[in-house]
Chains A and B, each alone.
Chain A
Amino acid sequence: MNTILTLVRKDFTLFLKDKTAIVLTFLVPFFVIYIVGNIFSGAGDNGGLSSNIKLAVYNESSDANAEVVVEGLEAETSIELVRDATGPDDTRVPFDRESIRQGIVDHDYNFALIIPQDYLKQEGIGLRIELLSNPKNQIETQIINGLIQKTIFTKLPQLMSSQLDKYQRELMGDTQYTEFLDGFAALISLSYEGAEYEDVRGNMGFEGLSKLLSSGTADSESGENSGGLIDGMIEIDEDQVFGKEIENPYLTRMIGGYAIMFLLFATTGSAASLFEERNDGIFLRLLSMPVKRTHILWSKFIFNTILGVVQALTLFVASSFLFNVEVFPNFLNLLVVSLFASAACTAFGMLLASISKTPQQAQGFGTLLIISMSAMGGAWFPLSMMPEPMQVIGKFTLVYWGVESYLGALWEEAGLIALIPELSVLAAIAIGLNLLSSWRFKTGNLFR
């Protein structure tokens, strides 16, 4: 036992001597809980959603009641409503069917609601709306569907009161329907003491029912009940703009984020190998030969980038064979995206090596930064679930651009030209990080 305690004491002594390790021990859990907490601490209001998801709305109907749905959605704090498109000279122009769809293709938003001209069904009771979507993220898709349905259910009685009255009058005949209501009101007022005929008559018919349902659907839970009551009355024509044919949509959406995380962890390991070679005296020998520092750094960069591409492609090919992720139709695009993503991740690994004094520090910094970037960059949760400032920060991470590139290639099956913006950002990140690490290598510890 004494031996074990002595060895444990030795580990603590070594640990306490490494100030960076001590700082990282507390910093990593702090950052993780800060990010996760920011995402989920709002639970109870709207399921943890603490920010806005963009939803474009085009109300084609001239019916005044249709605007009730739009108003309802506008009142939702979790939705940022987009009502018009950008026209020539950056002017705002009202949507039409073409421009609202183009907004999804252009990634201005991922969801668009169209209330058609004939949103009230001509045959029977109910309404019909159209939902265009690019469900790049499962959680975001579920949230937006839930919010749209909740809003419609809440406003349903108002929307359909006139339609139900019209339907009954057509069914029974105008005179017969009026007589039925008059008679029924008279019967009630006679049967119950204190029930005045005028009051009873005023609450009868579907307009009265509308008032009752409206008072009963004030909160979301009642909304669900009323939804159950009139479930069949709402018809949502869903039009998935991207990913319609994809066999395994959930994994296809998620795999890009995990591929980037995988690449980042792999390159952090390779950063540690730079220290190994230094400690073995390999750099000393190489630099005594006709070899420059830049030769060593470039060779490491090229090797790790190629290795990253091979590993990422292996991951995708395996996902294709094991889980039917459609990899091969987009293989060239995937190869190019993997090349850019791997280059950016390798440059990140090189920067880690350049700012760290020991391999342990590189591992510590790596874990902290990878977890933070993955959470903020959208590898774990959709960016829309985070507070606005974190969404902005998230867009400065290479994880975000890596995830977007992979989603473009796999989910949207975008061509290389369409991926140029994302790939350019990844290339810029790779170049920027490489320049930074080259500068740090000149003054840092690696070549000493």
Chain B
Amino acid sequence: MTILQARNLRKSFASTTALQDLNLDIQSGSFFGLLGPNGAGKSTFMSIVSGFLVQDSGKLTLEGQALVPSDIAQKKKIGLSPQHIALYKELSAESNLKLFGKIYGLSGKVLSQQIEYALEVAQLSDRRKSAVKEFSGGMKRRLNIATALMHKPKILLCDEPTVGVDPQSRNAIFDTLLDLKGEGMTVVYSTHYMEEAERLCDQIGIIDAGKILRTGTLDTLLQELPRTNIIRARAASLDESNQAGFRQFGEVEPDGSSLQLKTQADFKLSHFFRWTEEQGLDASDFQIARPSLEDLFLHLTGKDLRE
């Protein structure tokens, strides 16, 4: 079932077009990754869904109903963890949660319960009284996400939640989000790190210049790539005659201390390993690399994801 749908969404700022005819379907309970470089339109999309911005044209629906920014019932179904640490830094973690919980209309026991839940999610129960300004980057990020969960939203929008976060905190955030997905929450996750999208998302939308280029699962997206394998060989393990033999299987490019082979269309892996055996080469010197989202992005746009 589609929980969030965008049709021909357009948004411009002065002379800049942020979104142009963006179309998207996000399934309920999915972990949807919005993957694109900086300036692709990810945050603009998030801002429109959350009601901060209004689209110039196009339609957004939430559970089949047109999304209206002033509709409080709809807003209560959405939780936003903005790209910035949108917290009052002078206040404690608990005070921040209390404040934002009250804005959602929570009070009394329910509010207390939700504060406990959010502190647990943020792994900050023991630091509840500490001011946010005293927290590390990772702690702030976790609280930033937990604040968006105070009202138990159906859909959680996470706008680049791991920017500036250490690997340990990043893993903690991933675990939290995967747990939430496990509980049935829909997570929309914007990132420009393809590793994150590959690891977390069961649906991925590739966005560039305000347009969704492709959507699908990781496997279906990668099938879009031309059928090539990439084999990396340790350059030191191949003498000149071996390197000439290596080239018979496709296009070879140096890549640091390795040689990277992009195989031809009629390439057969069995033929390749027969050749290594004949040459007396050690099979462990060769590594078959799987095509990545980075390759797909390059294939679709002609540019790197991090450009």
A interface, CB within 8 angstroms of B: 279-292, 447-448
Across the interface, B85 reaches (CB within 8 A) one of A280, A286, A289, namely A280
Cα distance, A203 to B70, chains bound together (Å):
96
Question: Do the beta carbons of B103 and A287 come within 8 Å of each other?
Answer: no
Cα distance, A326 to B86, chains bound together (Å):
46
Question: Do the beta carbons of A285 and B100 come within 8 Å of each other?
Answer: yes
Which residues of chain B have C-beta atoms less than 8 A from A292's C-beta?
A: 70
Question: Do the beta carbons of B75 and A290 come within 8 Å of each other?
Answer: yes
Q: Shortest CB–CB separation between residue B173 and chain A, in angstroms?
A: 17
Question: Do the beta carbons of A280 and B86 come within 8 Å of each other?
Answer: yes
In the complex, residue of chain A having the shortest beta-carbon distance to the beta carbon of B105: A290
In the complex, residue of chain A having the shortest beta-carbon distance to the beta carbon of B153: A288
Which residues of chain B have C-beta atoms less than 8 A from A279's C-beta?
A: 84
Question: Do the beta carbons of A290 and B147 come within 8 Å of each other?
Answer: no
Across the interface, A290 reaches (CB within 8 A) one of B52, B53, B84, B103, namely B103
Judged by a CB distance under 8 angstroms, whether B80 is at the interface is yes
Question: Do the beta carbons of A288 and B75 come within 8 Å of each other?
Answer: yes
Which residues of chain A have C-beta atoms less than 8 A from B82's C-beta?
A: 281, 284-285, 288
Judged by a CB distance under 8 angstroms, whether B273 is at the interface is no
Cα distance, A287 to B157, chains bound together (Å):
14
Cα distance, A290 to B70, chains bound together (Å):
8
Question: Do the beta carbons of A281 and B103 come within 8 Å of each other?
Answer: no
Cα distance, A284 to B80, chains bound together (Å):
9
Q: For chain B, give the interface size range.
A: 20 to 34
Question: Do the beta carbons of A289 and B100 come within 8 Å of each other?
Answer: yes
Contacts beyond the supplied A285-B148, A289-B75, A290-B75: 19 A-B pairs with Cβ under 8 Å: A280-B86, A281-B82, A281-B84, A281-B85, A282-B88, A284-B80, A284-B82, A285-B147, A287-B51, A287-B52, A287-B69, A288-B50, A288-B51, A288-B75, A288-B157, A290-B104, A290-B105, A448-B13, A448-B53
Can you name 22 A-B residue pairings with CB atoms under 8 Å?
A281-B85, A281-B86, A282-B88, A283-B52, A284-B52, A285-B82, A285-B100, A285-B147, A286-B103, A287-B50, A287-B51, A287-B69, A288-B50, A288-B52, A288-B78, A288-B82, A289-B100, A289-B104, A290-B103, A290-B104, A292-B70, A448-B13
In the complex, residue of chain B having the shortest beta-carbon distance to the beta carbon of A289: B103
Cα distance, A448 to B16, chains bound together (Å):
14
Question: Do the beta carbons of B76 and A447 come within 8 Å of each other?
Answer: no
Q: Shortest CB–CB separation between residue B191 and chain A, in angstroms?
A: 17
Judged by a CB distance under 8 angstroms, whether B83 is at the interface is yes
Which residues of chain B have C-beta atoms less than 8 A from A447's C-beta?
A: 52
Cα distance, A447 to B51, chains bound together (Å):
11
Cα distance, A288 to B70, chains bound together (Å):
10
Question: Do the beta carbons of A285 and B80 come within 8 Å of each other?
Answer: yes
